[in-house]
Amino acid sequence: MSKWKMLPRMAVKGVIQNGTVYYPYLMAGIFSTFTYFIFASILCNDLVATLPHSAYAWMLLLIGKGLLGIILIPFLFYANSFLIKRRTKEFGLYSILGLEKRHIGVLLFCETLLIYLAVISGGILLGTVLAKLFFLLLLKLSNLPVEAEFIFTWQAFAETILFFGFTFAINLVYGLIQVSKSKPVELFSGSRKGEKEPKLVWLYAALGVLVLGTGYAVSIRSQLDEMIFIDFFLAVFLVVAGTYLVFTSGSVLILRILKKNKKFYYQKENFITVSGMLYRMKKNAAGLANICIFSTMVVITLVCTVALYGGLEQITHFNYPYDIMLDFASGNLSREQIEEDAGEIIDRNEKQAVRTDIFEVRSLSCRMNGNHADRPVSESRDNNTIYLLTLEDYNRIEGKDQTLSDGQILFYTNGPDLGFDTLDFLGIPLEIKEEPEEIFPYPKAGKGYFDLMYVMVVKDKEAFDLYACEYAKANGVTDREGFLESTYQKAGILLEGEDALKQETVEDLIAWCKEQQGFYASYKDGLEGRSMLRTMYGGLLFIGILFGTVFFMCLLLIMYYKQISEGYEDRGSYEIMQKVGMSDHEIRRTIHKQILLVFFLPLTGAVLHTMAGMFMVNNLMSALQLFDSRLIVTCTAAVLFVFMVIYCISYLRTARTYYKIVN
């Protein structure tokens, strides 16, 4: 039989005989294909674009698919480079037995094609079976119509096949380059080749600590402002770079110090552990850094996902506290008339109102500078809104019995309390009697917030008109009577029960509102707004679930390959140790110490990264209008605990596999 005819058989045999390293790679590839196919199938489905409010979910899925591609290409490349490293000795043997480099190249092509076909077939088959289930999950999380029918499109199949064809082509080219530039003897010994010690270890270790500390500082000192997302990416970049520097240089530095400590180094277990890690210091450190970074990504992704899921109702009601907000021109419809007509509609629909708040309000655009409310700057981001509210309306909304003297106000902000005793309102000195803890239509964020607003509660209608006229005068408005007439009377209604059961009542209220010719101004449908938010955040939850799973799969495979590769490399060393008298018990203790070090250094780093990153995550959640810090801390503690349990189980399983290899 000619060499060319033997190559396909050798390719199949090579994959089967190296199943210990190829089967996890196949499973990871199938899961990657499945995940990418799910994204592509949902995005290519025309039905998604026709569902109400689905534009948010569609946009988030599109971004998610792009990020997924960015993650999967380097990950599969990393796994493939490990496979090539493992096969170099075998390829060297083929060269010595008479195969030329072109034959090995064809062998690599056959193996790559075989794995590609298996990955594509398995991933698309799994995706075809489960795509509808994940589509329904997206609909459920996004509060979209669950009865919608899912239809497959050939575009999703084509995109998946082309994307992974490109990825495996990169892996094939890398393998061919590695084989072409190596000599047979180098291939034969390549998998056992040691590494040179890096230079300038002290400098790089100090630089790593500095970069990592800077990343922590950016995260801890971040504020909820327009720079939050730039700070986030800067912190991620610094922490990733610092982690690689600390692990690659800092670990070598620590090993050198341990090696110089003769009392420590010349003990059986310590000698083997330290010398073995120094032997492959660069690869070992890179593996530890990857495990640390992926562990952090898994934890933070799951924390954000769980926190968003737990706080979704808080987010929707923060933005839309009322089911319906009706606006009328002030003075045309009395509060009693609005209450009576709205009450009849609610009773007719057999519903009950949790609260009905009717109040006059005037919004003024100002620029807050400490305790000074100045004229607004044209088209400036620094402008804020101040709402004027009478004390009578405030007491009715909050069920209070406050009193105010002339020149006194209550001053409220949805951000942190100001802590001032006075307010300079356009040159008018006012005494702040109290900062209320809450005013229902304007929920308290309790921290820095993009859209800071203020409520100024004044003594009576006379004071209300006075400050409105002063604002008009300061801003050059000549028609003050017309300015006062543009004040609106708002009617906010919150009904009892679930949103889905309130729709008909809200539609009737909107219809009645529009019938008030000359009085009606506008309305704000809280049910509609909450539905849109649930759709957007539901898409985020869906992406978070899939990405958390992908990161965890990457983490497990990196951990597995690291220990498997080191097990095969260490097998010869342990054989020598056994021959010179090292007992099985001592080998087990050495293995336990080495794997414990390898596993728990990255875990410690991941916990530190997570703790520093929670400051940034807390601000990012606030940008998404989730202000419950206690919920975020609880989710972080729960996710870390579960992750550590799974991590320890992985440690025990890996230690057992490692011991079987070296023994």
Question: 60-89, pLDDT tens digit by residue?
Answer: 677 777 877 887 888 788 778 777 777 676
Q: How far apart are CA 345 and CA 515, in angstroms?
A: 13
The count of other CB atoms within 10 Å of the CB of residue 54 is 21
Last residue within a domain, chosen from 462, 495, 528? 495
pLDDT band at 363 (very low <50, low <70, confident <90, very high): confident
**Range 472-492 average pLDDT:** 72
| Residue in 226, 75, 234 with CA at minimum distance from that of residue 613 | 234
422 conformational bin, left if phi > 0, alpha if psi -120 to 50, beta if neither: beta
Assess if residue 65 is contained within a domain: yes
Assess if residue 300 is contained within a domain: no
The two structure tokens encoding residue 103:
């034959």
Assess if residue 511 is contained within a domain: no
| Residue in 222, 242, 240 with CA at minimum distance from that of residue 231 | 222
The lowest-confidence range among 17-26, 264-273, 542-551, 619-628 is 264-273
pLDDT at 378 over 80: no
CA atoms within 13 A on the CB side of 563: 26
Q: What residues make up the domain containing 428?
A: 353-495
The count of other CB atoms within 10 Å of the CB of residue 230 is 11
pLDDT at 523 over 60: yes
The lowest-confidence range among 110-114, 246-250, 506-510, 609-613 is 246-250
pLDDT band at 210 (very low <50, low <70, confident <90, very high): very high
Instruction: Calculate ∠ Cα 118-122-128, nearest 5°.
Output: 145
Last residue within a domain, chosen from 455, 472, 495? 495
The count of other CB atoms within 10 Å of the CB of residue 625 is 19
Predicted pLDDT at 412: 92
332 vs 209, more confident? 209
CA atoms within 13 A on the CB side of 183: 2
The lowest-confidence range among 91-95, 154-158, 287-291, 366-370 is 91-95
93 vs 308, more confident? 308
Q: With 0-12 CB in 10 A as exposed, 13-18 as middle and 19+ as buried, what is 165?
A: exposed
**Range 305-333 average pLDDT:** 84
Assess if residue 531 is contained within a domain: no
The count of other CB atoms within 10 Å of the CB of residue 637 is 11
Predicted pLDDT at 408: 92
Predicted pLDDT at 4: 61
Predicted pLDDT at 457: 93
Residue with tokens 């209450």: 339
Number of domains in the chain: 2
pLDDT at 597 over 80: no
Q: How far apart are CA 279 and CA 258, in angstroms?
A: 14
Predicted pLDDT at 1: 47
pLDDT at 531 over 60: yes
Q: Determine the straight-line distance between the first and last CA of the chain, rounded to whole angstroms.
A: 38
Average pLDDT score over the chain: 79
pLDDT band at 581 (very low <50, low <70, confident <90, very high): low
**Range 161-168 average pLDDT:** 92
Predicted pLDDT at 456: 93
Assess if residue 110 is contained within a domain: yes
Assess if residue 316 is contained within a domain: no
Q: How far apart are CA 202 and CA 210, in angstroms?
A: 12
The lowest-confidence range among 294-303, 375-384, 412-421, 640-649 is 375-384
For the entire predicted model, the pTM comes to 0.77
User: Phi and psi dihedrals of 429, rounded to 5?
Assistant: -75, 130
245 vs 250, more confident? 245
550 vs 263, more confident? 550
257 vs 640, more confident? 640
Assess if residue 453 is contained within a domain: yes
**Range 575-585 average pLDDT:** 67
| Residue 95 near residue 101, CB atoms below 8 Å | yes
Last residue within a domain, chosen from 193, 216, 248? 193
pLDDT band at 392 (very low <50, low <70, confident <90, very high): very high
pLDDT at 99 over 90: no
| Residue 565 near residue 85, CB atoms below 8 Å | yes
Assess if residue 130 is contained within a domain: yes
pLDDT band at 611 (very low <50, low <70, confident <90, very high): very high
pLDDT band at 216 (very low <50, low <70, confident <90, very high): very high
Question: 18-69, pLDDT tens digit by residue?
Answer: 777 788 888 888 888 888 888 888 777 765 555 555 565 667 677 777 877 8
pLDDT at 141 over 60: yes
Give percent of the chain above pLDDT 90. 12
